Structure 1
């Protein structure tokens, strides 16, 4: 069946998890597809061979030149807007979409009713919140999936054979930048803190791209009442152009006001989607139903509940979905207790904002930190956590930045600086942390840094920590 893409010359920028599916889908819709890619390694050549066998043109090692005749670019989300390819596209009047934009425009192309999107973004907590949301939606008997930046392709979700009632969609700032026409049923921005500023150029640009998720919302814009950073998530709601009747719904770790969800005496409660919300509240779940019940994870659960309630899900389904949810590895995961000391793996805390939340969850901490700082500074983080720190063990390429912040703002905290970046450093770090810890303490891996100086990714870093802890208890 002919489509708007039939005969159109489309350039797909970047191979990989988004580029290859995009190229296949567009080719299947009758487009003339050319893929350009910066790299020319073994993996890229294998992907190129797969696409060329279908009739797709692939140019390896040249991601900057705009192919002649291009009428549309579909880009991998990580490609920077400043890339020469996009400069040339702008000069030629060629639109640039991301894979999310393509997926949004392909909804219902096969004649099926498009599934609404409940969308989530934020600096931290996106994946957990989307997985919680999907668990709640499934508990309500809805056909759903957690998709998007979470690793399950949106293109597969909207073009595959499986039909859905609603999708729980995780979106990064990169993806939102390239998704101009996205209009979600309801959306949430969990939090905002400086991140990926090298890509966006400024905090203002980063926040603006996050705020795109609220544009055109139909039912609810869910925001973080407790956020103090500027711009706040509430500021982004105020700036959004939404459909008539769309509501601003807050979530808070404290007592909720009208049109908010929050916590009262160990209960998650809803004062947004109830009759006479000035006077009434609906119990949704107990704090103990959230795993783990750390403050930042309670916030994730409330945001997920807000989106689910906006879609009409019952309070009972919220409770059942939260109880059924199991968090992914390396997200504030309890590994073991050894000699009265808890060992917790939060290797996913790759920036200061995530680490701040992790440190706030425990009273007395031996902190294992360090790695690639990505331009971050640590003074504010250390100042806020100083009273909770029993000690610190530092690893990785940029550990000196954390050591200097500790010296300025927590000079009484003992610091072990491990001058090594091999993967075996984690075992020594755990051993040093054990020496500093006392019964009742928590040894917390919350690095506040990326992992690639020492490890393949944060998963491998967390696995190394868990293995080292197991060796302690052997």
Structure 2
């Protein structure tokens, strides 16, 4: 649905976070007198009232009946369409769209490259934007990474290429794209999607439904190997010997060694595979990716993603607050293999199986595991049998400050203090950024210095 099609309809915006604000701004720019209802929190309502917009209605309470008074509801990505009250309102004929969906419905200006995956999508999208800019392309870095595309819709001159990160909440409304990049798939956000099967289906809509001109896929992911790709979509595989892949610490394109990966400012094999995906995406739009590869050496890593905060009293503090699955916590451990590690795990309990994490610790114990958050007790009980015989210290840390204190006591003057929770941050924190900032403060670092995402917007 295009923005112009909203004229004369009963329109609501549900949620006034960044995408909600971008949606309201776009409506006011294109349809200045259009009546709009905003469903929001009391704090957000105060800010909206200060706008003194006579065509704006503000409501705090939201239920199916209130939603059903509207023809179209522009909802925030975090609101599931599969649960009440959205599902109930949909049965009454309400059409739900998102700010991202509105943007994709507008005529394409510039080439669109969309990146998704259970993990690594922010880093890959930022890497891609960095490479495109190194090629002299005016590039927009936007989407789930922290800037809604609607905020950039009327920028002049427009970008030549869009590097867009998409979460599984957003992939269902994508259309008219040049390249879709899918990095990996394993269970996440099951509370939003309702089932593992639906999560995969929603994620893969970026390929199946959007039918991109090129799909860049991970050859090591069995679900992607088996994916039924639209006939008109060409596939470029990465993590495969014929394409962009890793070999003996280097990045290869087929049999050609292109880059010594040891010089990259990104720890871990998974991040080097993210570079392979970004190079494949650049190649997919006709660029000489091999010539661009050395530009990755000047990439500035994103905050809260294996972010080294510094070294203090012999202990390196690493902020991986973006980690929301056990698999991502394992990947973080792999980056510091051979060192003394105290890892902080736990957060919102989505019922994910921590068996894979337990298997990793059984094979390669760490110095200490400190559990915290809503699922901390469950993770503690899962790991307790493994900690017997002093294989590693297992501590119930409670809240962040106590967890950091206990971990530092165990490490003494040597090791890695690693926040890689393997679980979402809410309801204790607003988001993973707030959690990472709290960790930095508890570890003795300035939280104001760690959260800026380099390269957002158009450059």
- Band of TM-score, shorter chain: 0.7 to 0.9
Q: Tell whether the 8 Å contact from 2:36 to 2:56 is kept in structure 1 after alignment.
A: yes
Provide the residue aligned with 2:264 in structure 1.
290
Q: Aligned pair 1:167/2:167, yes or no? A: no
1:345–1:142 CA distance, 2 compared to 1 (3 A)? same
Preserved CA contact (<8 Å) 1:377 1:401: no
Partner residue, 1:378: 354
Change (3 A) 1:183 1:28: same
TM-score by length of 1: 0.83
The structural deviation recorded for 1:209 is 0.6
- The answer as to 2:344 corresponding to 1:369 is yes
Q: Compared with structure 1, are the counterparts of its residues 90 and 337 closer, same or farther at alpha carbon in structure 2 (3 Å cutoff)?
A: closer
Partner of 1:21: 22
Counterpart CA distance in 2 for 1:343 and 1:389 is 19
Give the distance between the partners of 1:60 and 1:403, measured in 2 at CA: 39
Contact 1:184-1:213 within 8 A present in 2 as well = no
Counterpart residue number, 2:370:
394
Between the two proteins, the alignment pairs up a number of residues equal to: 437
* Distance verdict in 2 for CA 1:99–1:403, change over 3 Å: same
Q: Which residue of 1 aligns with 2:380?
A: 403
Aligned to 1:146: 141
C-alpha distance in 1 between matches for 2:417 and 2:159: 42
For residues 388 and 430 of structure 2, the distance between their equivalents in structure 1, rounded to whole angstroms, comes to 33
Cα gap change, 1:153/1:267 in structure 2, threshold over 3 Å: closer, same or farther? same
Equivalence for 1:176: 171
Contact 1:393 1:432 in 2 (8 A): no
1:310-325 superposed matches below 5 A? 310-325=284-299
CA contact (8 A) 1:148 1:170 kept: yes
Q: For residues 322 and 218 of structure 1, what CA distance do their matches in structure 2 show?
A: 26
Partner of 1:347: 321
Asked if structure 1 preserves the Cα contact closer than 8 Å seen for 2:371 and 2:395, the reply is yes
- Give the distance between the partners of 1:206 and 1:145, measured in 2 at CA: 27
Q: Does 1:224 align with 2:218?
A: yes
CA 55–33 in structure 1, closer or farther in 2 if over 3 Å, else same: closer
Asked if the contact 1:136–1:317 (Cα under 8 Å) also holds between the matched residues in 2, the reply is: no
Equivalent residue for 1:76? 76
1:169-195: CA deviations, max 9, x gaps?
011111123x1x523211111111211
Q: Following the alignment from structure 1 to structure 2, what is the Cα–Cα distance between the partners of residues 459 and 16?
A: 15
| Structure 2 unaligned residues grouped into runs of 5+ | 446-459
Match for residue 224 of structure 2 among 230, 233, 236:
233
Aligned to 2:402: 425
Which whole-Å CA distance do the structure 1 matches of 2:443 and 2:230 have between them?
A: 50
Does 2:335 match 1:358?
no
CA apart distance, 1:45: 2.8
CA contact (8 A) 1:149 1:171 kept: yes
Evaluate the alpha carbon distance shift between residue 85 and residue 261 of structure 1 in structure 2; reply closer, same or farther with a 3 A threshold. same
Partner Cα separation in structure 2 for residue 461 and residue 17 of structure 1: 18
Deviation of 1:468 after TM superposition, in Å, equals 5.4
Q: Note the C-alpha offset of 1:139.
A: 0.4
Tell me: CA distance 1:161–1:470, structure 2 relative to 1, closer, same or farther (3 Å): same
Q: Distance in 1 between matches of 2:345 and 2:44?
A: 31
CA distance in 2, matches of 1:73, 1:454: 28
2:112 is matched with which residue? 117
- Match in the other structure for 1:263: 246
Cα distance in 1 for partners of 2:62, 2:212 equals 41
TM-score under structure 2 normalisation? 0.85
Alignment CA distance shift 1:341-1:98 (3 Å): same
Say yes or no: does 1:95 pair with 2:82. Answer: no
CA RMSD in angstroms, aligned pairs only: 2.8
Q: Does 1:193 align with 2:186?
A: yes
Greater shift, 405-414 or 185-194, is seen at: 405-414
Distance 2:6 2:443 in 1: 54
Label 1:36 to 1:352 Cα distance change in 2 as closer, same or farther (>3 A): same
**Is the alpha carbon distance of 1:96 and 1:467 closer, same or farther for their aligned partners in structure 2, counting shifts above 3 Å?**
closer
Gaps of 5+ in 1: 109-113, 272-280
Q: Give the SS at the match of 1:18.
A: helix
Confirm or deny: 8 A CA contact 1:416 1:432 kept in the other structure. Answer: no
What is the Cα deviation at residue 327 of structure 1?
A: 0.8
- The alpha-carbon deviation at position 83 of structure 1 amounts to 4.5
